[in-house]
Amino acid sequence: MGFSLRTIPTVGRVWILGLILLGFPGQGRAQEQQEDPCLLCHSLPAMFEATENPDRFVVTPEDLEGSVHGALGLSCSACHQDMEFPHPEEPRATCSPCHSGTATSFAESLHGYALARGNPRAPDCSSCHGTHQILPSSDPSSATHKVRLPNTCAECHGQSGLLTDQLVRLPQSFQQYAMSVHGQGTTRGVAAAASCADCHSVHALKGAADPESRINPLNVASTCGQCHPDIQLQYDQSIHGRALQVGVTDSPTCTDCHGEHLIIAPEGAGTPGCGVQQATETCGGCHSDPLIVSKFGLQGDVVESYLDSYHGWAVRRDCDLAATCTDCHTAHSVLPQEDPASSIAAGNVVETCGQCHEGAELAFATSYTHTSVSMTENPVNRIIRDIYLWLIVIVIGGMVVHNLVIMNYYMIKRRREQEGDGASVVRFTLNEVAQHFILTAAFVALVITGFALRFPDTWWTQGLTFIGMTEPVRRNAHRIAGVILILVSAYHAWSLVATRRGRTEIRALSPSWTDVRDLWVNLRYHTFRSTKSARFGRYDYMQKAEYWALVWGTIIMAITGLILWFPTLAARILPGVWIPAAQTIHYYEAWLATLAILVWHFFFVILHPEEYPMSWTWLTGKMTRESAKHHHARWYEEEVLTGEREKDGETAKKAAIGTGIED
């Protein structure tokens, strides 16, 4: 809201006009007011109470006396020209009459362009320098003092979500600058530390695309060279600097390696110049980029060959003694091997290696290069690798086949023990065995195809892709396996309710307080605190826990899987947040289920000393009598033996009827 006479109450307007007509020959401040009649009104806060933001209209003599303008004796009209009374709705000050050169520079800057386009977010002179209490930049209290300037710029560039008039989001430069070595220096009051204007200039602030900008890639080195002239000289003479000077804009400059605002000391952990990050990101950003490599004919596997060397292995283990890129090639004086001044040239490479390897000679220094350790560039290494790969396949493959023959012998032997006459009892029906087999196949397929999506870069996933499991194939296989899992689970649920056998099974699987007692007895027995083992029923507490966990997991995976399969339909029924939530649940439930099978289920059916190498019950539905007596004594006595006695009684009764000797 602007200020004009209309914004002042009627009584106030009459009083002001009276003061003006009478010349206000008052006492105390008459001389000041005669020198600058603007203060008649603007030194009185009560005059502007009815306005919005009244502080912007109040100016005291003390404000002016402490500013650069007050010290020069400038009147209000020197800045506020053409201010006839009543004042216009939006009075503005102009700085150009005295600062014409600065005004021209500002008008050609990014801020000036934005202001000229009418962007309400664009800064003007007062945004940085203030309004009336303008202090010289040399004054530590000034908003434009070198140490305080970052906070002044942060009023715009420190805001999260600062937008241009075209809704382009500007970077949050201040937060990164504050964490940098430069920002930490200004925070401590170090005047030598680089501040915003040192890199971006004061008023002629231009974008990086402008050839005249200090932050244009061609000018960055000279900008940094204001404080680091020795490093600039090294860079200008390096292959990177030379390339940039002849117009190769792909060549890196200071900010490409050190960053723009978040410049951290190179020895800091996680910095661009630290250890493995230097190789993989700072230098690797260009030297492992296939476009850069092919465009300039560079060796393409220098990063991979380094990481696959002792130096790379040690650096990846956070060893700060192992050599990195800059230890051999230097940080700024990077030159090709053909240049006699290069650190890796024939005349200098011994000295370079000698920094770490005392007593190094030419034979040693030339034994390690990116070419010599490369599998693709060095044919000797490639032949050796191929020989050993074939040896591994033949030797280890033969060992695997040999051991599988032996394991197969003991597995068949255990199966024959279970199928001996009278030596086994029926544990599961053929129908139940089939359900379990289909469930197992679907589960394994889901695990493989599911984790293949989540971990596409692993060797086994790439192997699946090699044999034809592309993403469309994987996706369809995963969904088919999911449908099979749902169908077999639904059939199982129906059989539990609709069949006599199923109702018997669900009663046997129901948790009871007996399971708590069995848990206690079983743990005491296996910790040698008791000689009495638990006498389990048809299903022990371990099998019950696993069964109900399977039920719970299947329901969760089915629901979340269907949401992910049909997300648009799900969004019509459920809140939108459930779709990403379903993905998270599906992923972590998959981990829980897979680990439970590997750690719990496989232990009891494969790795348990009494079952190894494998229990055949899941395929035959039978188990030996000895195993039944040992693991499920209560079930064996209460159900198996009782059932056999009843069956024997029925058989004897039929036989008696047939012979005519029935009582």
Q: Could you tell me the domains of the chain?
A: 5-94 (no CATH), 267-377 (no CATH), 420-631 (1.20.950.20)
The string of pLDDT tens digits covering residues 599-625 is 999 998 888 888 888 888 888 888 888
Q: How far apart are the first and last CA of the chain?
A: 117
Report CA dihedral (126, 131, 135, 141) to the nearest 10 degrees.
Answer: -90
- Cβ-contact 51, 3 below 8 angstroms: yes
Burial category of 545 from C-beta neighbours within 10 Å (exposed 0-12, middle 13-18, buried 19 and up): middle
Distance CA 444, CA 659 (A): 56
Residue 25, token pair as written in the block = 């020959």
The string of pLDDT tens digits covering residues 427-475 is 899 999 999 999 999 999 999 999 999 999 899 999 999 999 999 999 9
Distance CA 390, CA 409 (A): 29
Torsion sign over Cα 420, 424, 428, 433: negative
| 508-524 mean pLDDT | 93
Burial category of 390 from C-beta neighbours within 10 Å (exposed 0-12, middle 13-18, buried 19 and up): exposed
| 289-307 mean pLDDT | 88
Q: Is 627 helix (H, G, I), strand (E, B) or coil?
A: helix
Residue 494, token pair as written in the block = 């129906």
Helices 430-454/578-596 angle, 10° precision: 120
| Among 141, 25, 29, 130, residue whose Cα is nearest residue 42 | 29
Q: Average pLDDT, whole number, for the chain?
A: 84
User: Residue 242: its pLDDT value, please?
Assistant: 94
Q: Is 203 helix (H, G, I), strand (E, B) or coil?
A: coil
Residue found under tokens 């850069």: 292
Beta bridge partners of 425: 623
- Cβ-contact 262, 176 below 8 angstroms: yes
Q: Is 426 helix (H, G, I), strand (E, B) or coil?
A: strand
The 3-state secondary structure of 229-245, one letter per residue: HHHHHHHHHCHHHHHHH
Q: Give this prediction's pTM.
A: 0.68
User: Would you call the peptide bond into 511 cis, given omega within 30 degrees of 0 as the criterion?
Assistant: no
The string of pLDDT tens digits covering residues 90-137 is 667 888 888 888 889 888 888 888 888 888 888 888 888 888 888 888
- Cβ-contact 3, 48 below 8 angstroms: yes
Percentage of the chain exceeding pLDDT 90: 38
Distance CA 282, CA 329 (A): 14
Percentage of the chain exceeding pLDDT 70: 87
Distance CA 22, CA 106 (A): 43
Residue 594, token pair as written in the block = 């897979």
**Chain length of the chain:** 663
Distance CA 248, CA 297 (A): 14
The 3-state secondary structure of 78-143, one letter per residue: HHCCCCCCCCCCCCCCCCCCCCHHHHHHHHCCHHHHHHHCCCCCCCCHHHHHCCCCCCCCCCCCCC
Residue 226, token pair as written in the block = 């204001």
| 573-587 mean pLDDT | 92
More confident residue, 415 or 521: 521
pLDDT at residue 25 above 60?
no
Opening angle at CA 519, ends 514 and 523, nearest 5: 150
Q: What is 329-391 written as a DSSP string?
A: H-SS----TTSTTSTTSTTTHHHHHHTTSTT--HHHHTT--TTTT-TTT-HHHHHHHHHHHHH
User: Residue 207: its pLDDT value, please?
Assistant: 87
pLDDT at residue 640 above 80?
no
- Cβ-contact 275, 324 below 8 angstroms: yes
User: Residue 501: its pLDDT value, please?
Assistant: 92
User: Residue 17: its pLDDT value, please?
Assistant: 47
Q: DSSP label at 159? A: S
Distance CA 121, CA 131 (A): 17
Most confident of 33-42, 62-71, 485-494, 653-662: 485-494
User: Residue 473: its pLDDT value, please?
Assistant: 94
Residue 105, token pair as written in the block = 């520079």
Residue 305, token pair as written in the block = 């060959």
Residue 407, token pair as written in the block = 């394991």
Pairing of strands 622-624, 424-426: antiparallel
Q: Is 622 helix (H, G, I), strand (E, B) or coil?
A: strand
Distance CA 483, CA 441 (A): 12
pLDDT at residue 172 above 90?
no
More confident residue, 527 or 379: 527
| Count of beta carbons in the 10 Å neighbourhood of residue 493 | 14
User: Residue 598: its pLDDT value, please?
Assistant: 93
The string of pLDDT tens digits covering residues 313-372 is 888 777 677 888 888 899 999 999 999 999 999 899 999 998 988 888 888 888 888 887
More confident residue, 459 or 8: 459
